[in-house]
Amino acid sequence: MPVVDETAHLMKLHTYGLLRDSFRLQQDMEYVRTTWRLRDRHVKDAGRAVQHMQKALTKMNVQLANVISDISGVSGQAIISAILQGERDPSQLAGLVHYGIKASREEGARSLEGNWRADVLFELQQAVDSYHFAHRQMQECDEKLQSYLAGLPTRTLDIPAGQTTVESAVQKRKKARKPRDNEPRMDLRAELKRICGVDLTSIDGINIMTAFTVISEVGTDMSRFEDEDHFASWMGLTPGKDISSGKVVGAGKRKVKNRVGIVLRTAATTLLESDTWWGARYRHLRRQLPTFRAAVKAMARHLAVLIYRLLTHGEAWVDRGSAQFERRRLERELTSLRQTQPALTRKTPQVSLDRSETTALPRTQVRPALTQAKFRRELRWTRAAVPGEPAAGLLPGAERDVSRRVRIIHTNRETASSR
């Protein structure tokens, strides 16, 4: 059997147009992506070092976690440093706790009584050295990132004049915030806005770390993707379909490991308690879709589409609030009700509801009349929850659970049409 060169075979397939182009990041952004991924590994190393410190303290029966939730903070590091320097008095160690800690000094002293084993103290010292080394590596990555970002060109987009002056409450809350935890100690938001031409952090759920991960992995040139649907599909945020001869023969989960898709899924989960448009939409998806995982994936796709539109069209995102989303959703449901009521009236025969008459009727004629009466009653209940609708003859408690009554009406309509 002749040996076929794989590269020559791939080149031949590509010449005939049988291979699709793979995504390739622009050259100037590859330096940023490499450094950002390296920094992410250092952050994970620092997290493992914190776990190592916690394990060493537990082995010495020092229950510092009962007093401080995060030992990598100011109070936790001060106590660990004092322990490594030879301090063993629990009251002296408890005095190093920050005044903002809710636990009392007596509780802290009781939690800091340990057996102080020499071998475990050496293990603790090694974990602390690894933690500080990881942070020094992160600082070097930040300096290198700052130099790479300074060499990127400034991007300008034509944004409509009416959109730049409007500012939502979410945008105001995100201003003037100091870097927290493992965020870079530089004005990363201003650099992102300069190289993107828009502020991606104005979207609720997209923080500075998420936005920089997206830009470092994708870049600012969206012309490599045909449209927003291809962009979402590249991240694995679309349903999987098996197509044969132009027909869908099956559907399943797509096994796509994409860094951008992962951070957008994480960003979607932060919208659960958000009082914004996207927060209301995410809660609506959790109620409508069969699983929470499907809702997270659908919400991540919405965020990906919005990022694509911001980077291509320069549309300024302005949050409209959760109340606006719920109002529009209710209007759509009521419009559907008004459209289905005449159709149900035409299909349902007009039968008297007097008990003396209905008892003599066949069962197939009584049910449509009762269904029609229930439909009208449910419609009056639904109208009571809408401001501006007539309130004559309405029943109490109509403001609760309008969506459930809408589903009841649709079920009654299908029952009446089938009979």
On the question of pLDDT at 338 being above 50, the answer is yes
Residue-wise pLDDT for 372-412, tens only, equals 555 455 545 444 444 444 443 333 443 444 455 555 555 65
State the pLDDT confidence band at 210, using cuts at 50, 70 and 90: very high
- Reduced to 3 states (helix: H, G, I; strand: E, B; else coil), residue 160 is coil
* Backbone torsion region of residue 388, taken as left when φ is above 0, otherwise alpha when ψ lies between -120 and 50, otherwise beta: left
- How many Cα atoms within 13 Å fall on the side-chain side of residue 208? 21
Average pLDDT, the chain: 77
Evaluate whether 235 touches 260 at the Cβ level (below 8 Å).
Answer: yes
Comparing 10-19, 79-88, 207-216, 360-369, which segment has the lowest mean pLDDT? 360-369
Which pLDDT value is given to residue 352? Answer: 45
Cβ-in-10-Å burial (0-12, 13-18, 19+) of 409 comes to: buried
| Residue 70, both tokens | 């995060």
Token pair 């600012």 is found at 220
Q: Which residues contact 21 (CB under 8 A, 6 or more apart)?
A: none
| Alpha-carbon torsion (213, 310, 204, 295), positive or negative | negative
Cα–Cα distance, 410 to 336 (Å, whole number)? 10
Which residues on neighbouring strands pair with residue 251, listed in sequence order? 241
| Residue 372, both tokens | 């029609």
Mean pLDDT, residues 3-31 taken together? 82
Cα–Cα distance, 416 to 368 (Å, whole number)? 6
| Residue 384, both tokens | 């009571």
- Strands of 58-197 (E only): list them: none
On the question of pLDDT at 128 being above 90, the answer is yes
Mean pLDDT, residues 2-18 taken together? 79
Which pLDDT value is given to residue 369? Answer: 44
State the pLDDT confidence band at 138, using cuts at 50, 70 and 90: very high
Cα–Cα distance, 185 to 40 (Å, whole number)? 15
On the question of pLDDT at 122 being above 70, the answer is yes
- Reduced to 3 states (helix: H, G, I; strand: E, B; else coil), residue 249 is strand
- Angle, CA 347 vertex, CA 344 and CA 351 arms, to 5°: 95
Q: Which residues contact 84 (CB under 8 A, 6 or more apart)?
A: 121, 124, 125, 128
| Residue 236, both tokens | 């694995």
Comparing 74-88, 112-126, 321-335, which segment has the lowest mean pLDDT? 321-335
Evaluate whether 192 touches 215 at the Cβ level (below 8 Å).
Answer: yes
Which pLDDT value is given to residue 119? Answer: 93
- How many Cα atoms within 13 Å fall on the side-chain side of residue 163? 16
